[in-house]
């Protein structure tokens, strides 16, 4: 009995049907590299799964469900390739801030501190060897990496402003200043949020950043920074949902908290 070939061959059949179909089994032999028996077997399996249907003269046509399956397969494959290439580059070499004077050949541990990767000669779950050294505070190159940097994701506090006419400006500024404690980055979404934060003169190291709030907040939280995201009324819930559903850090989701400012009575 013919054996079911690897899954990529099945998806190659679907791709050919999408590009050139409808096709008979004999038309697919050269393009797939399968025997006629192998193509026929796979077409029957694909028909059973609802991914193709047969028309006149046993010509196979890809179904709408087949197109969706093909699309999902290649999207998944692309995501895996992007991830794998990133991991390979990460394992091969990285750059870090020297936490002390370091020379080529020094064994170091890697630590995430204030959103920056720091290398120094201490024990760490992630280790490597200095390839290009430097003085404390300079950029060094670390190769031969092993392990994973011990990192807790930062939190994102989303402050939802009331509708533009719902609260006197003085109270908005006062409440924003209270929310600023223990945050490293402030991000804004919406003109009113940007203006209020700029006028509040918050004592936060980085920001206010008025662009790409979801991406900036997620990137900052990924390196352990705590984020204050001040958003216009219509933006806050959407951003909160997107951040909660997005990619976490080492399997841990980013803690996202939504705070709604009360209107003045």
- State pTM to two decimals: 0.55
Q: Where are the beta strands (DSSP E) in the chain?
A: 52-54, 60-62, 93-98, 107-113, 116-120, 127-132, 139-146, 156-160, 185-189, 206-209, 227-231, 256-260
- CATH among 3.40.1010.20, 3.30.1370.60, 3.40.1210.10, 3.40.50.12780 for 156-260: 3.40.1010.20
Q: What residue spans define the domains of the chain? A: 7-82, 90-146, 156-260
Q: Confidence band (pLDDT; 50, 70, 90) for 85?
A: low
pLDDT on residue 81: 67
Mean pLDDT of the chain: 83
Percent residues over pLDDT 70 in the chain: 87
Average pLDDT over residues 180-192: 87
Domain 7-82 belongs to what architecture? Orthogonal Bundle (1.10)
Q: Confidence band (pLDDT; 50, 70, 90) for 265?
A: very low
Angle at 239 between CA 237 and CA 245, to 5 degrees: 100
Q: Distance between CA 231 and CA 235 in Å, rounded?
A: 6
| Fold equal for 7-82 and 156-260 | no
Query: Which contacts qualify for 195-200: CB closer than 8 Å, 24 or more apart?
Result: 196/161, 196/169, 196/172, 196/230, 197/230, 199/169, 199/173, 200/173, 200/176
Q: Confidence band (pLDDT; 50, 70, 90) for 2?
A: very low
| Other CB atoms within 10 Å distance of the CB of residue 121 | 13
pLDDT on residue 231: 93
Q: Confidence band (pLDDT; 50, 70, 90) for 3?
A: very low
pLDDT on residue 250: 55
Structure tokens at 201: 């003169």
Most confident of 37-46, 76-85, 175-184: 37-46
Q: Confidence band (pLDDT; 50, 70, 90) for 57?
A: confident
pLDDT per residue as tens digits for the range 86-122: 555 555 678 889 999 999 999 999 888 887 889 999 9
DSSP state of 263: P
């Amino acid at each position: 009995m013919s054996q079911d070939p690897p899954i990529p061959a099945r998806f190659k059949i679907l791709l050919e049907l999408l590009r050139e179909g409808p096709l008979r089994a004999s038309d697919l032999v050269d393009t797939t590299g399968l025997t006629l028996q192998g193509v026929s077997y796979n077409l029957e399996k694909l028909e059973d799964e609802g991914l193709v249907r047969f028309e006149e003269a046993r010509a196979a046509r890809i179904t709408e469900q087949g197109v969706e399956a093909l699309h999902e397969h290649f999207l998944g494959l692309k995501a895996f390739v992007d991830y794998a290439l990133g991991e390979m580059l990460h394992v091969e070499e990285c750059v870090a801030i020297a936490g002390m004077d370091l020379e080529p050949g020094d064994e170091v541990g890697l630590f995430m501190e204030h959103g920056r990767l720091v290398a120094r000669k201490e024990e760490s779950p992630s280790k490597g060897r200095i390839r290009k050294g430097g003085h404390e505070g300079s950029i060094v190159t670390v190769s031969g990496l092993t392990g994973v940097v011990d990192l807790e994701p930062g939190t994102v506090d989303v402050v939802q402003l009331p509708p533009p006419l719902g609260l006197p400006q003085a109270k908005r500024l006062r409440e924003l200043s209270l929310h600023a404690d223990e945050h490293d980055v402030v991000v804004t979404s919406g003109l009113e949020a940007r203006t209020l934060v700029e006028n509040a003169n918050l004592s936060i190291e980085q920001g206010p950043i008025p662009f790409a709030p979801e991406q900036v907040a997620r990137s900052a939280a990924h390196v352990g920074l705590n984020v204050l995201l001040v958003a216009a009324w219509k933006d806050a819930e959407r951003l909160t949902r997107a951040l909660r559903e997005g990619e976490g850090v080492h399997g841990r989701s980013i803690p996202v908290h939504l705070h709604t400012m009360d209107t003045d009575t």
